[in-house]
């Protein structure tokens, strides 16, 4: 990340107001099998759901997958509490496969978003994006969604 002196929030992997964060590219391929997404992008997901498969959650409940999904998550790869690092990791993974991503975006029924989750450590503040992340996401034609959680002070 470039450092510009006028920016208020410098990069910080120990971002004090963040308890935990992650970014995940969610691709819902419609009628296409998630393995076809991998072939088009030439990268493997960190997780995939295949319609008809059965999944058991941490509570032991089993359900049938109703919608296929291809997911690329920073969760087990980036330990930083700075969401920019997680988004940069996703962007770097997608950089070599921009043409494939554009191809997927033009297939009817394919939906995608970058989902960012951020947990506050102190009950206020939030993540920061720099123009570099915003420009890269715009160049990839990706929307960016945020789930932000604030826990009450105890």
pLDDT tens per residue, the chain (154 residues)? Answer: 566 788 899 899 999 999 999 999 999 999 999 999 999 999 999 999 999 999 898 899 999 999 999 999 999 999 999 999 999 999 999 999 999 999 999 999 999 999 999 999 988 788 999 999 999 999 999 999 999 998 766 6
Burial of residue 8 (CB within 10 Å: 0-12, 13-18, 19+) is exposed
Q: Which of the 8 DSSP states describes residue 139?
A: H
- The pLDDT of residue 6 is 87
pTM: 0.91
- CA separation for the pair 115, 24 (Å, rounded): 5
Tally Cβ neighbours within 10 Å of residue 56.
Answer: 9
């Amino acid at each position: 990340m470039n450092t510009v002196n006028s920016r208020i929030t410098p990069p910080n992997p120990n971002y004090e107001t963040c308890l935990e964060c992650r970014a995940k590219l969610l691709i819902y391929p419609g009628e296409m099998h998630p393995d076809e997404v991998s072939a088009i992008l030439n990268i493997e997901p960190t997780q995939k759901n295949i319609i008809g498969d059965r999944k058991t959650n941490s509570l032991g409940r089993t359900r049938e997958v109703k919608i296929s999904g291809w997911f690329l998550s920073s969760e087990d790869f980036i330990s930083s509490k700075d969401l920019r690092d997680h988004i940069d990791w996703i962007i770097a993974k997608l950089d070599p496969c921009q043409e494939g991503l554009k191809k997927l975006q033009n297939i009817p029924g394919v939906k995608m978003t970058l989902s960012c989750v951020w947990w506050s450590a102190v009950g206020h503040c939030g993540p920061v994006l720099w123009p570099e992340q915003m420009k890269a996401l715009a160049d990839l034609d990706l929307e960016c969604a945020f789930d932000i959680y604030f826990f009450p002070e105890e």
